Structure 1
Amino acid sequence: MVEVYIDGASAGNPGPSGAGIFIKRENGEVNRHTIPLGTMSNHEAEYYALLHALDICIHEGITTVSFRTDSQLIDAAIEKRYVKNQTYKPLLDEALAKIEQLELFFMKWVPSKQNRADELSKRAIQLNQTTE
Protein backbone atom coordinates (compact mmCIF):
# COMPACT_ATOMS: atom_id res chain seq x y z
CA MET A 1 0.00 0.00 0.00
CA VAL A 2 1.24 3.48 -0.85
CA GLU A 3 1.87 5.78 2.14
CA VAL A 4 1.11 9.47 1.69
CA TYR A 5 2.17 11.99 4.33
CA ILE A 6 0.58 15.44 4.09
CA ASP A 7 1.14 18.71 5.90
CA GLY A 8 0.03 22.29 5.50
CA ALA A 9 1.78 25.20 7.17
CA SER A 10 1.42 28.96 7.43
CA ALA A 11 3.79 31.68 8.56
CA GLY A 12 1.10 33.71 10.29
CA ASN A 13 -2.59 32.96 10.45
CA PRO A 14 -3.34 33.93 7.76
CA GLY A 15 0.03 34.22 6.12
CA PRO A 16 2.25 32.76 3.41
CA SER A 17 1.40 29.07 3.27
CA GLY A 18 2.65 25.85 1.80
CA ALA A 19 1.78 22.20 1.36
CA GLY A 20 4.17 19.33 1.78
CA ILE A 21 3.48 15.87 0.37
CA PHE A 22 5.68 12.82 0.88
CA ILE A 23 4.71 9.69 -1.07
CA LYS A 24 6.31 6.33 -0.42
CA ARG A 25 5.40 3.65 -2.94
CA GLU A 26 5.31 -0.08 -2.33
CA ASN A 27 8.61 -0.53 -4.19
CA GLY A 28 10.30 1.96 -1.84
CA GLU A 29 10.35 4.83 -4.36
CA VAL A 30 9.80 8.21 -2.70
CA ASN A 31 8.35 11.40 -4.18
CA ARG A 32 8.46 14.74 -2.39
CA HIS A 33 6.29 17.72 -3.30
CA THR A 34 6.56 21.30 -2.01
CA ILE A 35 3.65 23.46 -3.11
CA PRO A 36 3.40 27.19 -2.33
CA LEU A 37 -0.22 28.09 -1.58
CA GLY A 38 -0.19 31.89 -1.28
CA THR A 39 -1.81 33.55 1.73
CA MET A 40 -4.26 31.53 3.80
CA SER A 41 -4.90 30.15 7.28
CA ASN A 42 -3.09 27.12 8.64
CA HIS A 43 -6.30 25.04 8.54
CA GLU A 44 -6.87 25.96 4.89
CA ALA A 45 -3.27 24.97 4.12
CA GLU A 46 -3.91 21.56 5.72
CA TYR A 47 -6.97 21.04 3.49
CA TYR A 48 -5.10 22.12 0.37
CA ALA A 49 -2.27 19.72 1.19
CA LEU A 50 -4.88 16.94 1.35
CA LEU A 51 -6.49 18.02 -1.93
CA HIS A 52 -3.17 18.28 -3.78
CA ALA A 53 -2.12 14.85 -2.51
CA LEU A 54 -5.41 13.31 -3.61
CA ASP A 55 -4.98 14.93 -7.05
CA ILE A 56 -1.49 13.44 -7.35
CA CYS A 57 -2.78 9.97 -6.42
CA ILE A 58 -5.66 10.16 -8.89
CA HIS A 59 -3.44 11.53 -11.67
CA GLU A 60 -0.82 8.81 -11.12
CA GLY A 61 -3.37 5.99 -10.83
CA ILE A 62 -2.61 5.28 -7.17
CA THR A 63 -5.85 3.82 -5.89
CA THR A 64 -4.90 2.09 -2.62
CA VAL A 65 -3.46 4.59 -0.14
CA SER A 66 -2.81 5.19 3.51
CA PHE A 67 -2.66 8.90 4.31
CA ARG A 68 -0.87 10.28 7.37
CA THR A 69 -1.51 13.75 8.80
CA ASP A 70 -0.56 15.58 11.97
CA SER A 71 -3.73 17.68 11.69
CA GLN A 72 -6.38 16.47 14.09
CA LEU A 73 -8.84 18.77 12.28
CA ILE A 74 -8.30 16.98 8.96
CA ASP A 75 -8.25 13.52 10.51
CA ALA A 76 -11.55 14.10 12.36
CA ALA A 77 -13.24 15.77 9.38
CA ILE A 78 -12.43 12.85 7.08
CA GLU A 79 -13.40 10.24 9.66
CA LYS A 80 -16.71 11.93 10.56
CA ARG A 81 -17.34 13.35 7.07
CA TYR A 82 -18.31 16.54 8.87
CA VAL A 83 -16.90 19.95 9.78
CA LYS A 84 -18.20 22.19 12.51
CA ASN A 85 -16.81 25.34 10.86
CA GLN A 86 -18.77 25.74 7.63
CA THR A 87 -15.88 27.70 6.07
CA TYR A 88 -14.20 24.35 5.46
CA LYS A 89 -17.26 22.46 4.19
CA PRO A 90 -16.54 23.03 0.46
CA LEU A 91 -12.95 21.82 0.98
CA LEU A 92 -14.12 18.73 2.86
CA ASP A 93 -16.76 18.00 0.21
CA GLU A 94 -14.13 18.26 -2.53
CA ALA A 95 -11.79 15.93 -0.62
CA LEU A 96 -14.54 13.36 -0.01
CA ALA A 97 -15.45 13.39 -3.73
CA LYS A 98 -11.81 12.70 -4.62
CA ILE A 99 -11.56 9.94 -2.00
CA GLU A 100 -14.57 8.24 -3.62
CA GLN A 101 -12.44 7.82 -6.77
CA LEU A 102 -9.97 5.62 -4.88
CA GLU A 103 -10.39 1.90 -4.25
CA LEU A 104 -9.09 1.95 -0.69
CA PHE A 105 -8.33 4.99 1.48
CA PHE A 106 -7.14 5.18 5.06
CA MET A 107 -6.35 8.26 7.12
CA LYS A 108 -4.23 8.10 10.25
CA TRP A 109 -3.18 10.85 12.63
CA VAL A 110 0.55 10.95 13.46
CA PRO A 111 2.53 13.32 15.71
CA SER A 112 4.33 16.15 13.89
CA LYS A 113 7.70 14.54 14.58
CA GLN A 114 6.61 11.47 12.58
CA ASN A 115 5.12 13.43 9.69
CA ARG A 116 7.55 13.13 6.79
CA ALA A 117 5.82 16.03 5.02
CA ASP A 118 6.40 18.53 7.86
CA GLU A 119 9.72 19.89 6.58
CA LEU A 120 8.38 19.96 3.01
CA SER A 121 5.46 22.21 3.99
CA LYS A 122 7.83 24.63 5.71
CA ARG A 123 10.02 24.69 2.61
CA ALA A 124 6.93 25.39 0.49
CA ILE A 125 6.22 28.55 2.51
CA GLN A 126 9.61 29.88 1.39
CA LEU A 127 8.67 29.27 -2.26
CA ASN A 128 5.88 31.85 -1.98
CA GLN A 129 8.50 34.59 -1.78
CA THR A 130 10.28 33.39 -4.93
CA THR A 131 7.09 33.01 -7.01
CA GLU A 132 5.44 36.36 -6.19
Structure 2
Amino acid sequence: MIEVYTDAAASGDPGPSAAGIIIKKGQSLSEYTFYLGEKTNHEAEFLAVIKALEVCVDLFPGEIISVRSDAKIVVDTMEKNFTKNEQFRPMFEKILILQERFPYVFYKWIPEKNNKNADRLAREALQNYTKPR
Protein backbone atom coordinates (compact mmCIF):
# COMPACT_ATOMS: atom_id res chain seq x y z
CA MET A 1 0.00 0.00 0.00
CA ILE A 2 1.19 3.49 -0.89
CA GLU A 3 0.64 6.25 1.70
CA VAL A 4 0.12 9.67 0.18
CA TYR A 5 0.09 12.85 2.27
CA THR A 6 -1.17 16.00 0.58
CA ASP A 7 -1.48 19.64 1.59
CA ALA A 8 -1.88 22.97 -0.12
CA ALA A 9 -0.96 26.54 0.68
CA ALA A 10 -2.52 29.67 -0.77
CA SER A 11 -1.64 33.32 -0.36
CA GLY A 12 -5.04 34.95 -0.52
CA ASP A 13 -8.34 33.31 -1.30
CA PRO A 14 -8.02 33.13 -4.24
CA GLY A 15 -4.32 33.74 -4.66
CA PRO A 16 -1.12 32.04 -5.66
CA SER A 17 -1.16 28.44 -4.44
CA ALA A 18 1.07 25.39 -4.27
CA ALA A 19 0.86 21.74 -3.24
CA GLY A 20 3.13 19.63 -1.10
CA ILE A 21 3.02 15.85 -1.43
CA ILE A 22 4.78 13.09 0.47
CA ILE A 23 4.59 9.56 -0.94
CA LYS A 24 5.63 6.70 1.29
CA LYS A 25 6.18 3.15 0.09
CA GLY A 26 7.59 0.98 2.84
CA GLN A 27 10.62 2.83 4.20
CA SER A 28 11.02 4.97 1.07
CA LEU A 29 9.81 8.59 1.14
CA SER A 30 9.50 10.89 -1.87
CA GLU A 31 8.64 14.60 -1.78
CA TYR A 32 6.94 16.59 -4.54
CA THR A 33 5.87 20.20 -4.94
CA PHE A 34 3.71 21.84 -7.56
CA TYR A 35 2.76 25.43 -8.24
CA LEU A 36 -1.02 25.50 -8.83
CA GLY A 37 -1.63 29.06 -9.98
CA GLU A 38 -4.33 31.40 -8.69
CA LYS A 39 -6.71 29.21 -6.71
CA THR A 40 -8.83 29.25 -3.58
CA ASN A 41 -7.53 27.23 -0.67
CA HIS A 42 -10.18 24.53 -1.20
CA GLU A 43 -9.41 24.31 -4.92
CA ALA A 44 -5.72 23.96 -4.10
CA GLU A 45 -6.46 21.10 -1.68
CA PHE A 46 -8.36 19.21 -4.39
CA LEU A 47 -5.60 19.90 -6.90
CA ALA A 48 -2.99 18.58 -4.44
CA VAL A 49 -4.82 15.23 -4.46
CA ILE A 50 -5.00 15.30 -8.27
CA LYS A 51 -1.25 15.94 -8.54
CA ALA A 52 -0.53 13.17 -6.04
CA LEU A 53 -2.66 10.66 -7.93
CA GLU A 54 -1.01 11.66 -11.22
CA VAL A 55 2.40 10.92 -9.69
CA CYS A 56 1.11 7.58 -8.38
CA VAL A 57 -0.28 6.64 -11.82
CA ASP A 58 3.24 7.03 -13.21
CA LEU A 59 5.20 5.46 -10.36
CA PHE A 60 2.83 3.00 -8.67
CA PRO A 61 0.30 1.65 -11.18
CA GLY A 62 -1.87 -1.10 -9.77
CA GLU A 63 -1.08 -0.31 -6.13
CA ILE A 64 -3.58 0.39 -3.36
CA ILE A 65 -3.44 4.09 -2.49
CA SER A 66 -4.17 5.66 0.88
CA VAL A 67 -4.56 9.44 0.59
CA ARG A 68 -4.21 11.32 3.87
CA SER A 69 -5.17 14.97 4.06
CA ASP A 70 -6.02 17.55 6.68
CA ALA A 71 -8.53 19.09 4.24
CA LYS A 72 -11.87 17.89 5.60
CA ILE A 73 -13.76 19.20 2.56
CA VAL A 74 -11.71 16.98 0.23
CA VAL A 75 -11.85 13.87 2.39
CA ASP A 76 -15.59 14.24 3.05
CA THR A 77 -16.30 14.79 -0.65
CA MET A 78 -14.32 11.74 -1.70
CA GLU A 79 -15.74 9.52 1.05
CA LYS A 80 -19.31 10.52 0.09
CA ASN A 81 -18.37 10.23 -3.59
CA PHE A 82 -20.48 13.30 -4.27
CA THR A 83 -20.36 17.10 -4.39
CA LYS A 84 -23.07 19.69 -4.94
CA ASN A 85 -20.45 22.42 -5.24
CA GLU A 86 -20.11 23.35 -8.92
CA GLN A 87 -16.68 24.89 -8.23
CA PHE A 88 -15.35 21.53 -7.02
CA ARG A 89 -17.11 19.29 -9.55
CA PRO A 90 -14.43 19.33 -12.31
CA MET A 91 -11.70 18.47 -9.80
CA PHE A 92 -13.87 15.82 -8.15
CA GLU A 93 -14.52 14.24 -11.57
CA LYS A 94 -10.79 14.32 -12.41
CA ILE A 95 -10.03 12.48 -9.14
CA LEU A 96 -12.67 9.86 -9.99
CA ILE A 97 -11.01 9.27 -13.37
CA LEU A 98 -7.56 8.96 -11.79
CA GLN A 99 -8.89 6.56 -9.15
CA GLU A 100 -9.89 4.13 -11.88
CA ARG A 101 -6.19 3.43 -12.47
CA PHE A 102 -5.87 1.75 -9.07
CA PRO A 103 -7.59 -1.26 -7.53
CA TYR A 104 -8.54 0.79 -4.48
CA VAL A 105 -8.07 4.36 -3.29
CA PHE A 106 -9.21 5.45 0.12
CA TYR A 107 -9.13 8.78 1.90
CA LYS A 108 -8.39 9.52 5.49
CA TRP A 109 -8.66 12.83 7.30
CA ILE A 110 -5.68 13.51 9.53
CA PRO A 111 -5.08 16.40 11.93
CA GLU A 112 -2.79 19.20 10.74
CA LYS A 113 -0.18 18.16 13.31
CA ASN A 114 0.12 14.80 11.52
CA ASN A 115 0.59 16.45 8.13
CA LYS A 116 3.44 18.83 8.94
CA ASN A 117 5.82 17.60 6.24
CA ALA A 118 3.33 18.03 3.39
CA ASP A 119 2.38 21.43 4.85
CA ARG A 120 6.06 22.45 4.97
CA LEU A 121 6.54 21.43 1.34
CA ALA A 122 3.45 23.36 0.21
CA ARG A 123 4.54 26.51 2.05
CA GLU A 124 8.12 26.28 0.78
CA ALA A 125 6.88 25.76 -2.77
CA LEU A 126 4.55 28.75 -2.51
CA GLN A 127 7.42 30.94 -1.28
CA ASN A 128 9.75 29.69 -4.01
CA TYR A 129 7.23 30.23 -6.79
CA THR A 130 6.03 33.65 -5.61
CA LYS A 131 9.23 35.32 -4.38
CA PRO A 132 10.38 38.30 -6.44
CA ARG A 133 13.12 37.51 -8.94
TM-score of the superposed pair, with normalisation by structure 1: 0.93
Contact 1:24/1:31 (<8 A) preserved: yes
SS class of match (1:31): strand
* CA-CA distance at 1:127 after TM superposition: 2.5
* CA-CA distance at 1:58 after TM superposition: 0.4
Q: Which runs of 5+ in 1 are unaligned?
A: none
Find the counterpart in structure 2 of residue 45 from structure 1.
44
Find the counterpart in structure 1 of residue 66 from structure 2.
66
Q: Tell me, in whole angstroms, the C-alpha distance in 2 between the residues paired with 1:54 and 1:107.
A: 12
Contact 1:38/1:128 (<8 A) preserved: no
SS class of match (1:87): coil
Find the counterpart in structure 1 of residue 129 from structure 2.
128
Find the counterpart in structure 2 of residue 112 from structure 1.
112
Q: Which runs of 5+ in 2 are unaligned?
A: none
Query: Counterparts of 1:20-39 in structure 2 under 5 Å?
Result: 20-26=20-26, 28-39=27-38
Percent of residue pairs bearing the same amino acid type: 37
* CA-CA distance at 1:130 after TM superposition: 5.2
Q: Tell me, in whole angstroms, the C-alpha distance in 1 between the residues paired with 2:127 and 2:36.
A: 10
Q: Tell me, in whole angstroms, the C-alpha distance in 1 between the residues paired with 2:78 and 2:109.
A: 11
SS class of match (1:82): coil
* CA-CA distance at 1:41 after TM superposition: 0.5
How many residues matched?
131
RMSD over equivalenced CA pairs, Å:
1.5
Q: Tell me, in whole angstroms, the C-alpha distance in 1 between the residues paired with 2:79 and 2:34.
A: 25
Q: Which deviates more from structure 2 when the two are superposed, residues 60-69 or residues 45-54?
A: 60-69
